[in-house]
Amino acid sequence: MNGGLLTALIFLPLIGALFILMQSEERAIWNSAFIFSLLPLALSFYVLVEFNPNVADYQLAEQYDWIPAFGITYHIGIDGISLFLVLLTTILITLSLLYSGGGDIEERPREFCFFMLVLETGLLGALLAVDLFLFYMFWEVMLIPMYFLIGIWGHGRRVYAAIKFVLFTMVGSLLMLVAILYLVYQAHVHFNRTSFDLPLLYEVPLTVNQGRWLFAAFALAFAIKVPMWPVHTWLADAHTNAPTAGSVILAGVMLKMGTYGFLRFAIPLFPTVAVEAIPLFMALAIIGIIYGALVAMMQPDLKRLIAYSSVSHLGFVMLGIFALNPEGVDGAIYQMLNHGVSTGGLFLLVGMLYMRRHTREISEFGGLWKRVPVYAAIFMVVMLSSIGLPGLNGFVGEFLIMLGAFLRIRLAAVFAVVGVILGALYMLWTYERVMFGPITRAVNETIGDLTGREIAVMVPVIALMLFMGLFPRPVIGRIEPSVTAMLARANVTQARLELERRPNRLAALSPARQTPNREPEMAAPAR
């Protein structure tokens, strides 16, 4: 009954993109793009309904021989780790197109809609791919439309930002490709079978040095995409110069491809090295949390401020991932969704303000609450969601991450709290400067409040914030089985024991002292 459902979900946007190329009238272009974004959105909700929360493995899977001579298959599936990221992608693409059709994009709307829908196909394909060659193909497909979205419809130094984005990402991607090919070669050596299929590659035995080099290649590619400190420098330029829809998708979904990559590939493929790297990645995550918050606080540009806040928020996600316990990883995935909703909403609101004033400088505003009360009220809800107010979505993810980090390395949780305080400080201070006080510029007296279309864009965002903040169980309940299976597949307990048995081990590198009774019972993976 569900055969081909995920294939339709991936490729319907691509069909829509090709259909749009045949349109010439502007309104028909926007209507067609919106309709073709609604189709995968509807399918993603249907997948959510059909998804069995008690099954940890891939569901609705499809697998066909594609290039048998090289062991390449068309293998896709969905589990609890990717389920809500798929849903988030389809929601944000639809809202971005709805917003952009209201006047934000005035030139070349046909090409803009084409690239947005091609980007959706790349994102969904990467999230659903189970074959590593297929994943890498979709991973690279994502770059092309985002390059053009920034370079053509962006602002300021848009070409520079687009090229910088591609160069940073491609450096990591090429190293990951080399690692993938070497891993496939090792599968051929040990199993006498050439295959890019992920379940088989999980079982490839590797030496310590092989695992370290391969993990480093995967980790660098994913760390650049996150982006983690210190490979984050492309992010602010890309966000600041991208069109609003580009910033929403970049922050809401594309950054999550890095954190998703750690969960799906880097950690379960190389578990012993991942355990060994826990102190390093938790330290980098803490630096990113505090550094991102401090730099965001000093930004004069609203969009750049939100961009650096993403460095801080994604630091929390990485902290939860490398806690490598159910609490931390559940919280990390939940926070990935929260960040997509909250930061996507912030970029939409900044875009709405930019359309009215053609500036994003904080000093150009003040007293807006008097002129645009609906906008100010919605901005306040989204801002409070971003800083993790209890009752809104951000709180749940941060709480679980803090718990996971505390159970792993207590000092890391202490430093992370500093990041929470700084995050609240710079967001509240920014809101106060923009919304309260006297109206500082005469032109602000003429600003109009939100239109019906803009309210329609923001209502689903706020609804998601409230639902995820008040009723987290339906989401976490579907995430948990796949997270437990991932930790079991990674065999964290066995990896820790192997690390402890190594001679000349530094005691501080072992997480065993931190949580001797928090790891779930896990059997060794079948060989």
- How far apart (Å, rounded) are the C-alpha atoms in residues 427 and 370? 20
DSSP string of 464-509, one letter each residue:
HHHHHHH--HHHHHHHHHHHHHHHHHHTHHHHHHHHHHSTT--GGG
Identify the pLDDT of residue 499.
54
Residue 31's φ and ψ, nearest 5 degrees, are -65, -45
Non-local (6+) Cβ contacts of 135 within 8 A are 125, 126, 129, 265
Greater pLDDT, 527 or 111? 111
pLDDT(303) > 70? yes
Look-up of token digits 């480093």: 216
Cα–Cα dist 490/267, whole Å: 7
Cα dist from 256 to 60, 88, 428, whole Å: 22, 11, 26
How far apart, in whole angstroms, are the C-alpha atoms of residue 308 and residue 519? 34
Q: Which residue has the tokens 């070349």?
A: 108
Which helix (H) or strand (E) segment holds residue 308: the answer is helix 302-321
CA distance 154 to 45: 32
At 35 the pLDDT is 92
- H helices then E strands: how many in the chain? 23, 2
How does residue 333 score in pLDDT terms, banded at 50, 70 and 90?
very high
* pLDDT at residue 222, rounded to an integer: 92
Q: Quote the pTM value.
A: 0.87
Residue-wise pLDDT tens digits, 77-99: 999 999 999 999 999 999 999 99
Name the pLDDT band for 497 (thresholds 50, 70, 90): low
Quote the pLDDT of residue 513.
38
Mean of per-residue pLDDT scores for the chain: 86
493 vs 246: CA distance, rounded Å: 41
Q: In this structure, how many other beta carbons lie within 10 angstroms of the beta carbon of residue 97? A: 24
Tell me what pLDDT residue 192 has: 84
- Give the DSSP letter string of 398-413: HHHHHHHHHHH-HHHH
Q: What average pLDDT does the segment 148-155 reach?
A: 88
Which residues 6+ apart lie within 8 Å of 21 measured at CB? 110, 114
User: How many angstroms from the chain centroid is the CA of residue 409?
Assistant: 25
Ramachandran assignment for 471, one of left (phi > 0), alpha (psi -120 to 50 degrees), beta (any other): beta
* Count of Cβ atoms closer than 10 Å to residue 376 Cβ: 20
Mean pLDDT of 94-111: 87
What is the pLDDT at residue 443? 72
Residue with the larger pLDDT of the pair 384 and 360? 384
Report d(CA 328, CA 401) in Å as an integer. 5
Q: What pLDDT does residue 367 have?
A: 81
- Where does the pLDDT of residue 512 fall: very low under 50, low under 70, confident under 90, or very high at 90 and above? very low
Report CA-CA distances (Å) from 213 to 170, 267, 271, 274.
Answer: 18, 13, 13, 12
Q: Measured between alpha carbons, how far is 465 from 467 in angstroms, rounded to an integer?
A: 6
**Euclidean distance between CA atoms 281 and 215, whole angstroms:** 13
Query: Which residue, 519, 6, 60, 3, is CA-closest to 278?
Result: 519
3-state SS of 345-368 is HHHHHHHHHHHHHCCCEHHHCCCH
Distance CA 10, CA 40 (A): 8
| Mean pLDDT calculated for residue range 336-351 | 92
Q: Which of 128-132, 167-171, 297-301 has the highest mean pLDDT?
A: 128-132
pLDDT tens track for 36-45:
999 999 999 9
Q: Residue 103 — pLDDT band, cuts 50, 70, 90?
A: confident
Instruction: Report the distance separating Cα 201 and Cα 72, nearest Å.
Output: 13
Provide the pLDDT for residue 519: 38
- In three-state secondary structure terms, 255 is coil
Residue 508: its pLDDT value, please?
Answer: 42
> And the tokens for 469?
């903040």
Q: In this predicted model, which residue has the larger pLDDT, 184 or 491?
A: 184
Q: Which two tokens stand for residue 265?
A: 């590939």
First to last CA, the chain: 33
Q: Where are the domains of the chain?
A: 277-527
- Residue 27's Cβ-count burial label (10 Å; 0-12, 13-18, 19+) is exposed
Question: What pLDDT score does 368 carry?
Answer: 85
pLDDT at 336 over 90: yes
More confident: 520 or 76: 76
Taking the CA atoms of the chain, what radius of gyration do you get in angstroms? 22
Q: Which amino acid is present at 452?
A: G
Q: What pLDDT sits at residue 18?
A: 93
- As a residue count, the chain comes to 527
| pLDDT top residue among 32 and 2 | 32
